[in-house]
Chains A and B, each alone.
Chain A
Amino acid sequence: MLEVQHISKSFGGVKATDDVTLDFATGSLTAVIGPNGAGKSTFFNLITGALKPDSGRILLDGVDMAGRSPPDIVRHGIGRAFQVASIFPSLTVSETMLAAVGADQRRASVMHRRFPLAETRERADYVIELLGLANKRDRIASALSHGDQKLLDIALALVLEPKVLLLDEPTAGMGTEERWRMIEKVHELWVREKITVVFIEHDMDIVFKIALSIVVLCYGRILATGTPDEIRRNPAVIEAYLGTDEHAGAL
């Protein structure tokens, strides 16, 4: 369903993404790992149109997404959440969701009717419930806790009913307990919504616990792909990335 073929991106002389080819099967749950500067965020930015690849193709159900604008790619069904929660600070949770559904229904330019549109309510409410934000629906986004802002960011991606959901470090900046709650939520979403989920994560406990497959990036290249068991036993991975003492324990 999502096939990335030979994409590359350089900044100056540095190859941030170097000839990456990957297949994400429909309904898969994939973790992207790799040390800092491995090109994980760049990889996401290329798929979602924030950056244009120098070469290569990004096929979603056979249609090439490479080089298209973010709104165009979103409309084809690739949604994303950001490492730093990217929300609308002055809107309430409800308003955010209602406006996002309206945008998805191509009603963002409607002027002759009042906000919120009746036809946006059902889906907005559904996603608010799904992410457990129902009791905070009238809160202004900037007043939410860090964790709830991350949830709202994911809700913004999810409410567009994407085929593929890319989550850039959903647990970034959270304490251990909150991390597990967040990742359980992500897992629950994947089970309930039956979408393809790709997430970046640093915590190896989390990665090996929930991911069905793992992609290891290093210096912009693919070091290894496989199931958690395969990755755990892969000598190149152990040496290059997981070989340090602190990570060896996680294996």
Chain B
Amino acid sequence: MSELNVENRAGAVPYVARPRRAAAIDVVAAVVAFAILAALPFLFDSKALLDFVIRCAAFGLFATSLNLLVGYTGLISFGHGMFFGLGAYGFGLLMQRANVSIPVAMVCTLAITAVAAVVIGAICVRLKEIYFAFVTLAFQMLIHSVILSWQSLTGGDQGLRGGIKRPVFWGIDLTNHVQLYIFSCALLVIGLLLMRQIAQSPFGYTLRMIRDNATRASFIGINVWRAKLTVFVLAALFASAGGMIMSLFVSGAYPEFAYWTISGEGIFINMLGGVTTFLGPMVGTVILLILNDTATRLTEHYGLVLGIVILFFALGLRKGLMDFAVDWYRAWRDKAKEQS
């Protein structure tokens, strides 16, 4: 990740001079994207397609939230998956045991995640890069072991079994597959829109300044520690939302959702898609899931295929796909400008 040169980092594109218009464009893009996604079940009669998009929504929220830390703030967390796991387990347990409605369980899970992220973040964000990476990883392992060993609550290595009740709320019935699909898409689009707003707000530029030069940021009056903690907690909330979608999708929660490999996949998705554009992690998610599904179908050496792809991106392109596309587009545009 440190290989990235500075001109190629998230937010390097000069800001849009008319911020209100930029915000309006984002909202329109989100509405259009949601409309297209919502139309899919009526155009294609494929449960597999809907399943794929639901998984994209879960992992896309998770990976994009990780990019708020990695790409925008320069905080490379190897334990971000713990909040994905926390979201899945928190929501699953509340639905199984607390007999609450889905929106209440979601809000409560977000609250639990926020408390956990404040405590863990307060310990981690003061640490320098490599220590931050390792201590976040340590917390991930801790949460995973708690899930494995607290069998009476979590079901240990079997996960939350017996399914999750999905009582109808606001006329939405999530036992219906199409409704679950549209609900997931709505969460994805709203989550992305909120994260986009954070990234393009004055706070988003505070994060970029901290990434570029934290010392200088503190000498223009920015409380670096507080800003890092804030983004750590915000990113955790979106990761938790991803975990909740996953929990609804599989109707339970499994220890793998909280295992460190989820964090690793998040980092991998960011490498695939690229961290310099907002939608890079979304593209990375789609690539990884397609790769995952085809590779596991064709060969048992899934890890080997993945490893080769990582090497190709890390050593060959030296950047993510969206970074590559943006560079290519810029070169093309500059050339076109020269000719005219």
Chain A interface (Cβ < 8 Å from any Cβ of B): 48, 50, 69-71, 74-75, 79-80, 82, 86-92, 94-95, 98-100, 102-104, 107-117, 138, 140, 142-143, 156-157, 160
Contact = CB atoms under 8 A, between A and B. Distances in A.
Contacts of A112: 197, 201
Interface in B213-256: 213, 215-224, 226-227, 230
Given A69-B218, A75-B221, A90-B6, 12 more contacts: A71-B221, A90-B11, A90-B12, A91-B208, A91-B209, A92-B15, A99-B209, A103-B220, A112-B197, A113-B202, A115-B15, A116-B15
Nearest to A80: B219
What is the size category of the interface that chain B forms with chain A? 35 or more
B338 interface: no
A143 B211 CA distance: 18
Given A111-B203, A113-B201, A87 B219 contact: no
B201 A99 contact: no
Contacts of A90: 6-7, 9, 11-12, 208, 211-212
B188 to A, nearest CB: 20
Contact of A74 (B202, B221, B227): B221
A159 B224 CA distance: 19
A86 B220 contact: no
B175 to A, nearest CB: 36
Contact of B213 (A75, A88, A109, A116): A88
Contact of B19 (A48, A74, A87, A116): A116
The B contact surface, by secondary structure, is helix
A69 B6 CA distance: 28
B216 A88 contact: yes
A88 B220 CA distance: 12
A104 B204 CA distance: 16
A110 B11 CA distance: 17
Given A114-B23, A115-B15, A142-B6, A86 B216 contact: yes
Contacts of B19: 113-116
Given A99-B202, A102-B202, A103-B206, A108 B215 contact: no
A138 B15 CA distance: 9
B221 A109 contact: no
Contact of A103 (B14, B201, B213, B221): B221
B205 A87 contact: no
A102 B6 contact: no
B203 A160 contact: no
Given A70-B218, A71-B221, A71-B222, A95 B202 contact: no
A174 to B, nearest CB: 20
A99 B206 contact: yes
14 contacts: A69-B218, A71-B219, A86-B213, A89-B213, A91-B212, A92-B15, A104-B220, A109-B202, A110-B202, A112-B197, A114-B19, A114-B197, A115-B15, A140-B6
